[in-house]
Structure 1
Amino acid sequence: MKIVNLKTNHITNPLGFDLGKPSLSFITCETTASKQVAAQIEVALDKNFSEVVFNSGRSEEIDSLAFELPIKLETRTRYYWRVTVWGDNGDTATSEVAWFETAKIDEAWDGKWITPDWDNKIHPIISKEFNIEKVIKSARVYTSGLGLYEMNINNKKVGDEYLSPNFNAYDKWIQYQTYDITDVLVQGENKVDVALGNGLYKGRFGFNSVENIYGEKFALICEIIVDFEDGSNLIINSDETWKARKSKVLEGNIYDGEIYDSTFEDTSIYNVKEIGLGVDKLKARLSLPVKIKEKLKPVQILKAPEGEIVLDFGQNMVGWVEFKTKAPKGSEITLQYGEILQEGNFYRDNLRTAKAEYKYIANGEEVTVRPYFTFYGFRYVKVDGWYGEINVDDFTGCVLYSDMEVTGHIETSNPLVNRLFLNALWGQKGNFLDIPTDCPQRDERMGWTGDAQVFSGTACFNMDTFAFFSKYGYDLGREQEKTNGMVPMVVPAAGLPGGGSSAWADAATIIPWNVYVQYGDKKILEQQFESMKAWVDFVKKADDDSGSKRLWTTGFHFGDWLALDGTDPAFPTGGTDIPFISSAYYCYSSMLVAKAAKVLGKEEIAKEYEKLSNEVREAIRDEYFSKNGRMTINTQTALIIALFMDIAPEEKRERVANDLREKLKKDKNHLKTGFVGTPYFCKVLSENGSNDLAYTLLLNKDYPSWLYAVTMGATTIWERWHSVLSDGKISGTDMNSLNHYAYGSIVEWMYRYMVGINPVEDTPGFRHIKLTPMPDYRLKCAKAIYKSAVGTYESEWKITDEGNLEFKFVIPFNASASLILPNAKLENVKVNSKSLKETKLNASQSSENVIVELISGSYEFAYFPEVPYIKYYGVDVSLGELVSNQAVKNIIEEKLPMIVTEDMLERSGHQTLRELSFAPFSPVTNEILEELDNVLNKIKIDVMI
């Protein structure tokens, strides 16, 4: 038995975070035990646990998903903790020691905000020299800088994070960071240098590219506390004794990049002055550190037709390029960043006004160079002014994103689907840089609520996002304080007026609920509950003010943004009636508030909002459904939302599902949905008897589809279904990001339905799941590994050449699963090479499926599925010849749209088909087979002639 993943507030060994009431979590693995029967948590002030401040004793009440530590935390104190677990088979183990360290809890600030006494546009370095004469025991610095800062002590970078103090609503709160500087201080003379940059605090930012959104001046606050072995300490606070000098960073902002002149020398020392920012907004950090998480080398150096030298990193990524150079003094090297080539040449017009470049003026020394206060979204980098022969070894792509563990992985037999999964993951990496940005490259990079909301389910599978979304939710709640609960379009609002759009603002309810279900820690609901409720109250007031119809018909809304069925290309809100979308989200968010209230023990509030949700649902049904269940809005998105959000009356769901199938058939089995309909499309199909159509949407390769972008060489998710046209030309420059993760929400369907790993709301955190893999014959196999909050799940299936289905599952310790084996007969199923009926597993037969209750362990199931499966053996005839017969073509196109795939048609010109196969999980009935067989028998001779 082993205990791993010890986290405090879902962070490993957090230093200087605002912890509130700490939530401790851990995972038990490597044991034959199935359940935890007891656990013990010990907390001490030292690693040896001689100064214990909490000991739970052996307890049956400790939940590994979230144990709230019932002690009062002291300021600036490190706490060590460990866990002991007892299993139901007698196994026991004690973990390694983890720790967390508090920041300045309710402690006054002696440091002052200081700023250079010069022009606000000059980038400063603020410094302090001090002497240490005693033996150092430990040292910490508590600091923040505006807009962005980077600290060096004795010419060594402090910490391994970048772009601090991160991005938040600076007008509401300012984060400060804590660093352990014990190892960078020395006895004798020490010097601290803090370089400051613009960031979004005072740099060019937002739709109007305004400057000074939150402030006009660079500023620094700092407290250094050095504890000595003799029990004394030294405190160095920022004040007017600090000095400033001009930085070699001459210009810079997030959109345009940075200019660094290493030849610049200004030996002048300037005074600093106190600036009246106050300390009431200062708050210990919530943001995860932004780190260099990966490094990539260029895959090739291109000589473009126009003579440009372009580095290709093979992957659309976010961060910057670090390079080595020994260029002569005064020479200028310029890097320009872009996402795509056009006709083989470097291109960046889709970045709009963002220059996205880095200029370095060399001083003649051999150095390694990188930016300080900016970042880029790119795959290609144009290099100008390079000295000497250019070599890939001189360049390194540094991939930046918030420090989150990657927790999920999916792989299938289809390499295009595998690349689609990676595209969504890379889109998350690139856009989860402290806030969930919509795009990381152009003159925007804002925390759009709609994008974050629709992708949050996928995000929680791909990475451990609890702390990330907790910080984003805190910002969102703070932005609501002066808007009567309205949620802005972007968070932080960054001076952008307006908000309150359905689906976008519903991030206030949907994200916290998704996070709670995923991780099983109600701390997120406790933090966000007033925000959730305030948002629904805002909508209800708009409803009440317009007549209390329990429909949401007022205000501005994005609708089904970027859907393909709209009539206004200039403002693509889609063809679905906006009041229907808004009212559906009104109903949905009200129910989520009710659910959250119930989890938190707020029973009366739960009843109130459940009642409100039901009233809205009935009003929508009255307005948008006929008495026979036909919807008055015949769009893909309207039908999807009606099913997903339980708007359709229960007795009419089959009618709505049939209408969706018919609508999809008329649309030639291609999606036309935007930001609202797309995330739920495949889920709804799989849940309502059309799993085959879900796979069709997934596997379509022509426009519009997910795989179209993959076939066009995309390595991240695009903003639009046709961001790049089939001839390789970019479709437009106004709003065309090639790293825009929203449509990557298909990956949640892959986790939940393709491989079937479904959390259950009543047992959140994957303590118990519905294991519902849904294979399709067009994939030979699929496998997922998911490191959940309770432990690692594995789900794998494959279809053998003989048509058998084989499954492999791993259920982690202290977890269970209700497995549904599709199209199975109990007597035919084998598990771990034995007949299922002969085992002690709790199994039952439904009309089409076998249901098995699983506990912790590894399982292999196999059976022949109970679905039509025949082979038609005919003469050697190419598929192209076969489908050229109109009678066959009619049957295939009208009744078997998934049998003849695009892949098969592509091969038909140069390969013959000796057999026509109908595999498991294809939509074949005996009637269709008989009809097709009759036609084939009639045309054999004709085809050969």
Structure 2
Amino acid sequence: MEIYNLRVNHLKNPLGYKMEKTVFSWKVRGSKGKQQVSAKIRVGYSKDLVNCPLVKDTGFDPTASSLAYPVVFPLKPYTRYYWDVTVKTDAGEELTSPIQWFETAKMEEHWSSKWITCDKSSTRSPYFEKDIKMENTVKKARLYICGLGLYEGYYNGHRIGDEYLTPYCNDYNEWVQYQTYDMTEMLKNDGKLTILLGDGWYKGRFGFEGAEELSRYGDEWKLLAELRIEYIDGKVEVIGTDESWQVQRSNVTFSNIYDGEHVDDTLPESDSEPVLLCEAPKAQITARISTPVTIHEKITPVELIQTPAGELVLDLGQEFSGIFKLRVKEPYGSRIHIQTGEVLQQGNFYNGNLRTAKSEYIYTSDGIEKEIIPHFTFFGYRYVKIQGISNLKKEDFTGLALYSEIPPVGEIVTGNDLVNKLISNVRWGMKGNFLDVPTDCPQRDERMGWTGDAQVFAATATYLSDTYAFYRKYLYDLAKEQSIREGKVPNVVPAFGMEGCSSVWGDAACIIPWNLYMFYGDKAILEEQFTSMKSWVDYIRKVDDEKDGWSSVFHYGDWLALDHPVGKDERMLGGTDEGFIADVYYAVSAGIVAKTAKILGFEEEAEFYKKISDNQFTKVKDSYFSKTGRCCFRTQTALLLTLKYHLSSDEEKIRETLIGLFNESRGKLQTGFVGTPIMCHVLSEQGLNDLAYHLLTNEEFPGWLYEVKLGATTIWERWNSLDENGNISSTGMNSLNHYSYGSIVEWIFRHSAGINIDEEPFRVSANRDILAIDDAVPGFRQVVFEPVLSRELGSVQASYNSAAGVYESAWSFSDENQVTVKVSVPFGCRAKLILPQIDRKLFNDKQNPMFSDVREGVCYLESGEYCVSYNVIDMASKYSIDSPLWSLLDNKEVREAIAGFVPIDKIPEQFTFLTLYQIGEKFAGVTSRKQLDSLDKLLNQY
């Protein structure tokens, strides 16, 4: 038995985080028992939690949840606490975990230091310096620091910590973070504390607002720091920023998030300058919430290319976000120019789609061999053009991938190499855009936290990585932006001057915290965000009360869908009415607020917001549907929303119409930001798994594998970001690293692998006779395994290390008919397993533990591993005379088979959405009933 993954507030041994309460969590594996029966938490000031006095001992508590166990006790500043958990199981086992710790920051303690700055007329970034002399042997030393725009700390020339781009990105008028560093080991000797500052988001160019992009929050560098030293004799010394510090000028002459960095090592050493005192930022300074941004992967180039234009370009083989290190040894005064890009064009370097972002690094050499690494910028890139190095070798360059701490938790491998590459691309797209803020793209003059992108991808991200702490910071940002806008959620968070607001985008305020609650089972996120969630719905209500005003204002709607009647390749708005989408999401968000209020015990508010949701859904049905249930909008997205939220009185008709739309588009999606994330989920719920798999594995435009086939290593912003010849389709708005459409990976986890949690009672597919089963339990305490088989995919093997433990699900075909299904359920959890296409007579095999408890075709499982092999039944052939003609023509072998029966070249293109049977009925003499019957038997063999 092992207790592992111990966390406080979903952080591992957190140092210096904003901490108003303590919520403990843990996992168990390898036990004889199946369930935890009780647990206790002990907290103390010493690692010895047995012989030393305790701050808190909860005693064995049968209600203690390993997902989230709040323990209340007073916290003191500057204090390291040690803790452990002891678990008892239903098999009589008892085990105590390894000791863990967490340490508070300054909390409410007054800063004795002062905000300092320097003469801002120089373009050389400042080093703020202070000589440090120890009075005795150091027992404990902590540096509490905030530098604006960005800072890096050094002691005797050695870097303090391994984080980059601190103090990170937020609305600096609303809150400013400081970080805490353990400097105990560094302070063995006297030395010099040095803090280098850059422009960053605070005072550099960033945003969409023209001149306001520069120095949005301030036009001077600012520093606040305290080095707090505890000596072994008990004395405490605090060395803070004040007038005694000095300023030296660095060789960094320019730094900017968009445009890169310039370093000139030929500059003379500057004279020391006195620091200047300055006003504090407008916002209150607070302990950190951001998780660390660090180097995770080091990427070596796969090729050094001499392009047709004569350029030297390195191909790193993978698009990512971060910086680099480059070994240089060039003569004094040599100018080295480094530029980054996402794609080659006609074999040459290209960065036109970055718009105004220069995305470059310019270095002037002092003639000394060294490694150069940027300080205060980052790049989204795969290709690097380098000028000014006389004998460039690819071994001299290393890409350094930077992103926030988001430990991987989900792995999935299929029998289709292209799908596996797609999953890899989605993961890299997430890494590239999870740099403190969930950005839309990491390379052009944008890199902003668009709420719509974050919302549609949140569930996929959380299947792939532990995102709780990362999203918690983003939601804190979001709530701060709302607090100065009467509940309105700007489309971008942090806003950086963007005041627009839209449905689906703003609904992130409700959808993301609800997702986190469902995935992690910790209602603390609902408690923290409840005011934000309510205020968003209240804002909509206020706008809507003015004669249905909410549906009338501008909304992005089904952004970048392909079905708008005008716009062609440059189209951005989709063909689904934006007001309809806005009204639906208003009802959805109000419903989430109602459920949240109920969970938190606010019964009156629960009833109030449920009434809003119910009334809004009624309004949607009355406004956009005929009395017979027909939807006013004949688009894929409109019908997907209709089925997902049960808006029509005739769902079968809607289902048929949706199938017809896909047939008319030859089985191709036409959806954008609204329809794409829900599309395959809805299709599976409607029993249309074959269509969902067809969409997933389609290799033509538009589709996920189209870009994979063209060499993508992340997810594109547009379905046609590149044309079939690899030419960039637009420079106006075109990113090759945009994770939104990567939301398909949620469907692969939930349906292909079948690891499924649902906030509603589990709904069975339309083609099954099994009834609904129990409500889901948040935090993955209970899942429904319902894998969806596909001979084309061949196999799926998935693992998900949920908040409750590791679930595994795998299936594979050994031949055309026999499939093996394996699942595992972690300690303390339960699952329902619905085996696809199984003969229920096999349930009588009680020797197989999988079938020890079967009710109405559902296998009820407790913690353990399970496996069964069987011959599938009722797995219909992919092709028949009831298949639309386009699907038959797409398969070369099938096309040749039917050519002898049907004169396919005589059938007009606009009728290929019809089935062969319908064509036989519609076009007299094309084929006979007898021929169709013979053809049907032939097609069933494919």
The verdict on a shared fold, with TM-score over 0.5 as the criterion, is yes
Name the CA shift for 1:577/1:47 in 2 (closer, same or farther; >3 Å).
same
Equivalent in the alignment of 1:920 = none
Equivalent in the alignment of 1:764 = 778
Determine which of 61, 64, 77 is the counterpart of 1:62.
64
- Please tell me whether residue 237 in structure 1 is matched to residue 252 in structure 2: no
Question: How big is the alpha-carbon RMSD for the aligned residues of Structure 1 and Structure 2?
Answer: 2.2
The farther-off stretch of 636-645 and 724-733 is 636-645
- Paired with 1:454 and 1:870, the residues of 2 have a C-alpha distance of 34
Of all paired residues, the percent bearing the same amino acid is 46
- Please tell me whether residue 826 in structure 1 is matched to residue 840 in structure 2: yes
Q: Is the 8 A contact 2:901 2:935 kept in 1?
A: no
Task: Encode CA deviations 1:104-155: one digit per residue, 9 max, x unaligned.
Answer: 1111111111101341644111111121131010100111000000000111
Determine which of 853, 856, 861 is the counterpart of 2:868.
861
Equivalent in the alignment of 1:33 = 33
- Paired with 1:456 and 1:879, the residues of 2 have a C-alpha distance of 40
- Paired with 2:122 and 2:490, the residues of 1 have a C-alpha distance of 30
Determine which of 345, 353, 367 is the counterpart of 2:348.
345
Task: Encode CA deviations 1:13-57: one digit per residue, 9 max, x unaligned.
Answer: 111000211111111112232111111211111111223111112
Q: Match of 2:529, as an amino acid?
A: Q
Q: Is the 8 A contact 2:453 2:740 kept in 1?
A: yes
Equivalent in the alignment of 2:155 = 153
- Please tell me whether residue 204 in structure 1 is matched to residue 205 in structure 2: yes
Equivalent in the alignment of 1:884 = 899
- Paired with 1:801 and 1:483, the residues of 2 have a C-alpha distance of 60
Task: Encode CA deviations 1:732-778: one digit per residue, 9 max, x unaligned.
Answer: 10100000000000111111111111124341110011111111221
Task: Encode CA deviations 1:362-388: one digit per residue, 9 max, x unaligned.
Answer: 222221110000000000001111133
Task: Encode CA deviations 1:849-876: one digit per residue, 9 max, x unaligned.
Answer: x31111110000222222156899xxxx
Secondary structure of the 1:72 match is: coil
| CA shift for structure 1 position 552 | 3.3
State the TM-score, normalized to the length of structure 2.
Answer: 0.92
Equivalent in the alignment of 2:728 = 730
Equivalent in the alignment of 1:674 = 672
Q: Is the 8 A contact 2:450 2:493 kept in 1?
A: yes
Q: Is the 8 A contact 1:757 1:770 kept in 2?
A: yes
Name the CA shift for 1:871/1:552 in 2 (closer, same or farther; >3 Å).
closer
Following TM superposition, the consecutive aligned residue runs of length 4 or more in structure 1 with deviations greater than 4 angstroms are: 868-872, 877-880, 888-897, 928-933, 936-939
The farther-off stretch of 772-781 and 342-351 is 772-781
Q: Is the 8 A contact 1:127 1:192 kept in 2?
A: yes
Name the CA shift for 1:59/1:936 in 2 (closer, same or farther; >3 Å).
closer
| CA shift for structure 1 position 360 | 1.5
Q: Name stretches of at least 5 consecutive residues in structure 1 with no aligned partner.
A: 898-927, 940-945
Q: Is the 8 A contact 2:46 2:81 kept in 1?
A: yes
- Paired with 1:285 and 1:5, the residues of 2 have a C-alpha distance of 22
Q: Is the 8 A contact 1:827 1:835 kept in 2?
A: no
Name the CA shift for 1:48/1:571 in 2 (closer, same or farther; >3 Å).
same
Q: Is the 8 A contact 2:437 2:474 kept in 1?
A: yes
- Please tell me whether residue 100 in structure 1 is matched to residue 114 in structure 2: no
Task: Encode CA deviations 1:466-504: one digit per residue, 9 max, x unaligned.
Answer: 0111110011001011211100010000122222x0000
Q: Is the 8 A contact 1:113 1:239 kept in 2?
A: yes
Count of residue pairs brought into register by the alignment: 890
Q: Match of 1:860, as an amino acid?
A: C
Equivalent in the alignment of 1:86 = 88
Secondary structure of the 2:862 match is: strand
- Paired with 1:190 and 1:363, the residues of 2 have a C-alpha distance of 26
Q: Match of 1:716, as an amino acid?
A: T
- Please tell me whether residue 283 in structure 1 is matched to residue 286 in structure 2: yes
- Paired with 1:671 and 1:256, the residues of 2 have a C-alpha distance of 37
Equivalent in the alignment of 1:516 = 517
Q: Match of 2:432, as an amino acid?
A: G
Equivalent in the alignment of 1:917 = none
Equivalent in the alignment of 2:922 = none
- Paired with 2:698 and 2:335, the residues of 1 have a C-alpha distance of 48
Determine which of 327, 331, 341 is the counterpart of 1:328.
331
Q: Match of 2:832, as an amino acid?
A: S
- Paired with 1:322 and 1:40, the residues of 2 have a C-alpha distance of 48
Q: Match of 2:316, as an amino acid?
A: F
- Please tell me whether residue 780 in structure 1 is matched to residue 794 in structure 2: yes
- Paired with 1:869 and 1:829, the residues of 2 have a C-alpha distance of 22
- Paired with 1:716 and 1:744, the residues of 2 have a C-alpha distance of 9
Equivalent in the alignment of 1:720 = 718
Q: Is the 8 A contact 1:760 1:768 kept in 2?
A: no
| CA shift for structure 1 position 661 | 1.2
Q: Is the 8 A contact 1:299 1:313 kept in 2?
A: yes
Determine which of 333, 356, 379 is the counterpart of 1:376.
379
Name the CA shift for 1:240/1:886 in 2 (closer, same or farther; >3 Å).
farther
- Paired with 2:844 and 2:656, the residues of 1 have a C-alpha distance of 35
Secondary structure of the 1:765 match is: helix
Equivalent in the alignment of 1:116 = 118
Equivalent in the alignment of 1:921 = none
Secondary structure of the 2:780 match is: coil
Q: Is the 8 A contact 1:202 1:212 kept in 2?
A: yes
- Please tell me whether residue 305 in structure 1 is matched to residue 308 in structure 2: yes
Question: Which runs of structure 2 are paired with 1:36-47 in the superposition (5 Å)?
Answer: 36-47=36-47
Question: Which runs of structure 2 are paired with 1:155-174 in the superposition (5 Å)?
Answer: 155-174=157-176
- Paired with 1:166 and 1:886, the residues of 2 have a C-alpha distance of 66
Equivalent in the alignment of 1:531 = 532
Name the CA shift for 1:364/1:594 in 2 (closer, same or farther; >3 Å).
same
Q: Match of 1:623, as an amino acid?
A: S
- Paired with 2:878 and 2:733, the residues of 1 have a C-alpha distance of 49
| CA shift for structure 1 position 896 | 8.5
- Paired with 1:793 and 1:648, the residues of 2 have a C-alpha distance of 36
Secondary structure of the 1:445 match is: coil
Determine which of 523, 538, 555 is the counterpart of 1:557.
555
Secondary structure of the 1:86 match is: strand
Equivalent in the alignment of 1:905 = none
Equivalent in the alignment of 1:626 = 626
Equivalent in the alignment of 1:216 = 219
Equivalent in the alignment of 2:682 = 684
Equivalent in the alignment of 1:907 = none
Q: Is the 8 A contact 2:120 2:221 kept in 1?
A: no
- Paired with 2:572 and 2:651, the residues of 1 have a C-alpha distance of 29
Secondary structure of the 1:821 match is: coil
Q: Is the 8 A contact 2:901 2:931 kept in 1?
A: no
- Please tell me whether residue 260 in structure 1 is matched to residue 263 in structure 2: yes
Name the CA shift for 1:141/1:730 in 2 (closer, same or farther; >3 Å).
same
Equivalent in the alignment of 2:738 = 740
Q: Is the 8 A contact 1:117 1:271 kept in 2?
A: no
Q: Is the 8 A contact 1:451 1:742 kept in 2?
A: yes
| CA shift for structure 1 position 241 | 1.1
| CA shift for structure 1 position 93 | 1.9
The farther-off stretch of 151-160 and 329-338 is 329-338
Q: Is the 8 A contact 1:542 1:554 kept in 2?
A: no
- Paired with 1:111 and 1:369, the residues of 2 have a C-alpha distance of 33
| CA shift for structure 1 position 195 | 0.5
Task: Encode CA deviations 1:593-631: one digit per residue, 9 max, x unaligned.
Answer: 011111111111111111110100011101111122111
Name the CA shift for 1:839/1:406 in 2 (closer, same or farther; >3 Å).
closer
| CA shift for structure 1 position 888 | 8.6
| CA shift for structure 1 position 83 | 1.1
| CA shift for structure 1 position 264 | 1.8
Task: Encode CA deviations 1:888-909: one digit per residue, 9 max, x unaligned.
Answer: 9699974499xxxxxxxxxxxx
Name the CA shift for 1:386/1:662 in 2 (closer, same or farther; >3 Å).
same
- Please tell me whether residue 590 in structure 1 is matched to residue 590 in structure 2: yes
- Paired with 1:279 and 1:128, the residues of 2 have a C-alpha distance of 26
Secondary structure of the 1:221 match is: strand
- Paired with 1:377 and 1:272, the residues of 2 have a C-alpha distance of 36
Q: Is the 8 A contact 1:310 1:346 kept in 2?
A: yes
Name the CA shift for 1:120/1:660 in 2 (closer, same or farther; >3 Å).
farther
